[in-house]
Amino acid sequence: MVTPVSIVAKDLTITLSELRNLMELRKTDAVKKIQENYGDINQLCKRLKTSPTDGIYGIPSELDTRRTVFGKNYIPPKKPQTFLELVWDALQDPTLCFLIIAALISLGLSFYHPPGGSAAACHATDMEEEDEEEEMGWIEGCAILLSVLCVVLVTAFNDWSKEKQFQGLQRRIESEQKFTVIRQGEVIQVPIADLVVGDVAQIKYGDLIPADGLLLQGHDLKVDESSLTGESDHVKKTLTADPMLLSGTHVMEGSGKMVITAVGINSQAGIILSLLGVGETSEKTKDKDNKAKKTKDSSEAAKNLDTVDIERGDEDVEIKTNEEEKPKKAPSHKKEKSVLQAKLTRLAVQIGKGGLAMSILTVIVLLARFFFINFVMKKLVWTKECTPLYLRRILKDLIIGVTILVVAVPEGLPLAVTISLAYSVKQMMRDNNLVRHLDACETMGNATTICSDKTGTLTMNRMTVVQAFIGNMHHRVIAEPNSIHPTTLDCLRKGIATNCAYTSKIVSPERRGGLPRQLGNKTECALLGFLLELKQDYEAIRGMIPEEQLYKVYTFNSERKSMSTVLKNDDGSYQMFTKGASEIVLQKCCFILNEDGESVPFEEEDYALMIKNVIDPMASEGLRTICLAFRDFPADEEEPDWDEEDDIIKDLTCISIVGIEDPVRPEVPEAIRKCQNAGIVVRMVTGDNINTARAIAVKCGILQPGDNFLCLEGKEFNRRIRTSEGEIEQELFDKVWPTLRVLARSSPSDKYNLVDGIINSNVTKQRQVVAVTGDGTNDAPALKRADVGFAMGIAGTDVAKEASDIILTDDNFSSIVKAVMWGRNVYDSISKFLQFQLTVNIVAVIVAFTGACITQNSPLKAVQMLWVNLIMDTFASLALATEKPTEALLKRKPYGETLFDIENGRTAAPEGPPTQHYTIVFNAFVMMQIFNEINARKVYGERNVFEGIFTNSIFCCILVGTLIVQILIVQVGGKPFSCAPLTLEQWLWSILLGIGSLLWGQLIVSIPNKCLCFLKEAGEDIVEAEDEIFEEEVAEEEKEIDYGERELRRSQLLWVRGLTRIQTQCRVVNAFRASLYDKLEAATMGPDEMV
């Protein structure tokens, strides 16, 4: 080993080109090359002036030297679009193109003034008075162009500012994204951009490798290289078979150390990007031969690549370099358009087409009127002298048509969506939501289901051991060290210190009086904190057994649910320590340490008692239970095959079972309650014990006492949704997921199947919109499959962040609720703008159309049109699309749900059970009749229909009796009456609709009778009509009999007879009133007056 010292350029005895050539090799070819040229990787490290154990010295002068010789770990981003390019992109909007064409036509017509005769000479009296603005007709076209210019500039400026914000955010992310390296023998974290060739970096599960390097030490290390090779299989990395680690690839399992050999544009990812001209080459000092060599090497590196997918911050660049399609230039900039934006753009085009049709109709009406008056009624002749005058009039009509088109086209609609989304994305950053995909913002407004992780999202992710079972004693509080046998204590100290990742540690608090900081895996930090409470120094053990001396490590993954580390002792024996899910590790235990530190047999009966008396009580309190165990491999036995994992991790001796508390975040119960009120179902998906998960679910409010919801483990979940052949069946799945609230001991595949099944389900009329949280590498498929994937910004791996749509920068569930609010706010903002836009559009078009048809001119002039367009589009977009969300948004159901929250009865089978849909229709109809019965009490236009209602007891009894019978029919009538029971809310809506009859009656009373003179008096011409019907019926009977026609005639006859009776009743009433009035008049008149 060489102790790192400060260096200069001449001390580095290996060149950049040598390292580039080496990193282009793969697997055994690379191993042979290293052996032939350098001997081994340690010798290569000497030539790089670094130490495999202590790393580089890391002083500024040394770092500058390495950057000068080998380059910086920085890939220049693609050149952003200029403001003019953004203006050009904005002009591609079809609505704006339509407006520009209209403006050019308007300008062309306004400047065309052909000479010709006077209106008097041509006898065109309706053309004698010219419009006051005819000489200023160019304003019409300029008004349109100015409106377009406003929209384009606002859109381009908005995109430009958004690009600037994105670049600033990307720089912030890059500055905050750090990687663990060893410098001067100390483990530190440095920004990725500060990595240099020669750095010794620690890599672990979930990391995105930031530079090319060679493996120094690996434990069960597997890497996903599909982004470079296209192969989906994980590649196992070892010193003897394949030590090559490439930038842009993901660590899927295990951990290890690597020495960095290429950074930035000299890495394999950088070489591919340099082929496409992304960024500028910083190696200006290279001669032509080196440049040619670089191009040749780059071509070789690209030859075997199908797809390169490299993440820089938030940006994904996908490059295809196969033989059939070689890129000739950098990928074009594509403007991200959300689903809502695309829908409303189509709506704007459709409205524009309607405006075009209206404008064409207006022109046709004006021209038809002009030709009819002058050439039909006045019988004028089209003469050569009058042609210019007639053409001018036709052109004026065309301008009016264009004016109507300008009013109709809603050019502000796409702008409103852009402003609303951009404003929401910017504001969501303040609410700890980093939006990576624009459409995710609006999609959250439709979310109906959230599948959330437990640890870190619902809980605080600050874990502490609060209970422990040691030496046959269940300690409800942490025991004193002297109460634990030294042998057991020694096993705990050694097992926890070495079987936790060396990157996990407890450090001093940042401020005085604060809690110690937990760095690394929180569960491992809890175990290390447990050692500290037992007055044990884990750092001393790690100092005696450095990470390089770990013989074999079986790292934690979702399948094992455990982690094991093998140590080789000086006498040739081996000792393995294991930790993991308590019930899983405990099943592999055959012995247990008693109170004297002795190993005693552990039988199946003991296992059942341990579950019942220790693990379940801990889990019921919401504690995560971890089992700690070990196994000795004597020196006199043959060394086992360490690759046969099932034969290794068995016959364990249980040391202890600990209960780890992870408190629920204080704000989570309220956030979940808001989700439930908003119609969003929250489901917990966790790898914890089912009792622990259930207890946390109750604390969070996901489960309430008395709820009939399911809590399942992964095994039971799979048993219920799969057929006997092991295939997932949607019909079986649909029986499980509606009531499922907690999925425990689940694997990433279980989470994916849950998300996929809910999305594909047809149980509900509206498709379920699913949001999912995830932090692990294996969560990536579920995050991709979900409608909205939330990755954890703190605990999440790079792979999970890359697969997500939104990154929670605080890992807090309450931030998801804020995302729902912003998503719904986007829809509300657009709805407000649409309400304003469409009403103004319709009124403006009607005014322009009717005015043009009646007065042959548009009431809205050019300058007025400009102002209307600015109000209607640009200003309204800014005003209505930038309102902040309120808590009221969470008090209604997700968008797209049906009225009254019921299923659509029109899709129900005719023979199916009664639906609430048609029951509400029937109930509302009956309510209308009941209230209309009250209306019918007054027939002479009286306003107060309730006057004297209680004086008629029979009327009141019939009214109340009808209502009672209706309630019984609806609530208990069932299938005989084709009714489904209604809720109180639905009854209130039915009554409200019934009250509409009273309002309608008041409206009818308000209409004067003289306005209804076109209606005939009841019974008029009835007798004549009846006689005609009889005659027609007799004549028809002589012909061929048509029974359908006969029934129709009979119905008509009954209707006529009914009207006849009404006429007779009216005559009787009139006669009665006349006689009564005569008697009253006679009684009041004197004898002289009677004469």
Question: So what's the pLDDT on residue 489?
Answer: 92
Regarding predicted confidence, which is higher, 74 or 848?
74
Query: Measured between alpha carbons, how far is 600 from 918 in angstroms, rounded to an integer?
Result: 71
Residues 266-286 as b or e (16 or more Cβ within 10 Å = b): bbbbbbbbbbbebbeeeeeee
Q: Which two tokens stand for residue 22?
A: 């080496």
- Which of 101-115, 270-284, 295-309, 910-924 has the least mean pLDDT? 295-309
**Closest among 366, 356, 364, 363 to 405, alpha carbons compared:** 356
Classified as helix, coil or strand, 475 is strand
Question: So what's the pLDDT on residue 434?
Answer: 81
Q: What is the pLDDT of residues 852-897, one digit of tens each?
A: 777 766 676 655 655 666 565 666 666 776 778 888 888 877 765 4
State which of 3-7, 789-793, 1035-1039 shows the largest mean pLDDT: 789-793
User: Long-range CB contacts (< 8 A, 24+ apart) of 1006-1010?
Assistant: none
Question: So what's the pLDDT on residue 374?
Answer: 80
Question: Is pLDDT above 60 for 1090?
Answer: no
- Which of 231-245, 656-670, 930-944, 1046-1060 has the least mean pLDDT? 1046-1060
Question: So what's the pLDDT on residue 1023?
Answer: 46
Rounded to whole angstroms, the maximal C-alpha distance in the chain is 149
Question: So what's the pLDDT on residue 891?
Answer: 80
Question: Is pLDDT above 90 for 629?
Answer: yes
Regarding predicted confidence, which is higher, 567 or 429?
567
Query: What mean pLDDT do residues 212-226 have?
Result: 86
Percent of the chain predicted with pLDDT > 90 = 15
The phi-psi region of residue 39 (left if phi > 0; otherwise alpha if psi is between -120 and 50; otherwise beta) is: left
In order, the DSSP letters of 596-660 are TS-EEE--HHHHHHHIIIIIHHHHHTTPEEEEEEEEEE-TTSPPP-TT-HHHHS-SEEEEEEEEE
Classified as helix, coil or strand, 734 is coil
Question: So what's the pLDDT on residue 684?
Answer: 92
Q: Which residues pair with 449 in a beta bridge?
A: 681, 770
Residues 654/628, Cβ–Cβ less than 8 Å: yes
- CB half-sphere exposure, 53, CA atoms < 13 A: 8
Chain centroid to Cα 321, Å, comes to 32
Q: Which two tokens stand for residue 436?
A: 């990576």
Please, which residues have CB within 8 angstroms of residue 31's CB and are 6 or more apart in sequence?
A: 240, 241, 242, 243
Question: So what's the pLDDT on residue 720?
Answer: 92
Chain centroid to Cα 443, Å, comes to 4
Query: Measured between alpha carbons, how far is 242 from 41 in angstroms, rounded to an integer?
Result: 12
State which of 46-50, 656-660, 687-691 shows the largest mean pLDDT: 656-660
Band the pLDDT of 770: cuts 50, 70, 90. very high
Band the pLDDT of 284: cuts 50, 70, 90. very low
Query: What mean pLDDT do residues 982-1001 have?
Result: 86
- The single-letter DSSP state of residue 376 is I
Regarding predicted confidence, which is higher, 1081 or 583?
583
Question: Is pLDDT above 50 for 305?
Answer: no
End-to-end CA distance of the chain: 145
Please, which residues have CB within 8 angstroms of residue 593's CB and are 6 or more apart in sequence?
A: 471, 485, 487, 488, 491, 599, 600, 653, 654, 655, 656
Question: So what's the pLDDT on residue 175?
Answer: 66
Question: So what's the pLDDT on residue 293?
Answer: 40
Residues 317/310, Cβ–Cβ less than 8 Å: yes
Query: Measured between alpha carbons, how far is 492 from 473 in angstroms, rounded to an integer?
Result: 15
Q: What is the pLDDT of residues 1022-1061, one digit of tens each?
A: 445 445 554 555 454 444 444 445 555 555 666 666 666 6
Query: Measured between alpha carbons, how far is 576 from 398 in angstroms, rounded to an integer?
Result: 90
Regarding predicted confidence, which is higher, 1085 or 735?
735
In order, the DSSP letters of 1056-1085 are HHHHHHHHHHHHHHHHHHHHHHHHHHHHHS
Classified as helix, coil or strand, 955 is helix
Mean pLDDT of the chain: 77
Regarding predicted confidence, which is higher, 916 or 258?
258
Residues 712/720, Cβ–Cβ less than 8 Å: yes
Question: So what's the pLDDT on residue 1041?
Answer: 47
Regarding predicted confidence, which is higher, 712 or 507?
712
Query: Measured between alpha carbons, how far is 885 from 898 in angstroms, rounded to an integer?
Result: 23
Percent of the chain predicted with pLDDT > 70 = 73
The phi-psi region of residue 1074 (left if phi > 0; otherwise alpha if psi is between -120 and 50; otherwise beta) is: alpha
Cα separations (Å) of 458 from 7, 429, 1091?
50, 20, 101
Question: Is pLDDT above 80 for 1000?
Answer: yes
Query: What mean pLDDT do residues 575-602 have?
Result: 92
- The single-letter DSSP state of residue 686 is -
Query: Measured between alpha carbons, how far is 884 from 873 in angstroms, rounded to an integer?
Result: 20
Question: So what's the pLDDT on residue 600?
Answer: 93
Question: Is pLDDT above 60 for 116?
Answer: no
The catalytic site residues sit at 453
Please, which residues have CB within 8 angstroms of residue 652's CB and are 6 or more apart in sequence?
A: 578, 585, 588, 589, 590, 591, 629, 630, 631
- Which of 59-63, 77-81, 715-719 has the least mean pLDDT? 77-81
- The single-letter DSSP state of residue 452 is E
Question: Is pLDDT above 80 for 130?
Answer: no
What 3 state SS string does 855-916 have? HCCCCCCHHHHHHHHHHHHHHHHHHHCCCCCCHHHHHCCCCCCCHHHCCCHHHCCCCCCCCH
Residue length, the chain? 1091
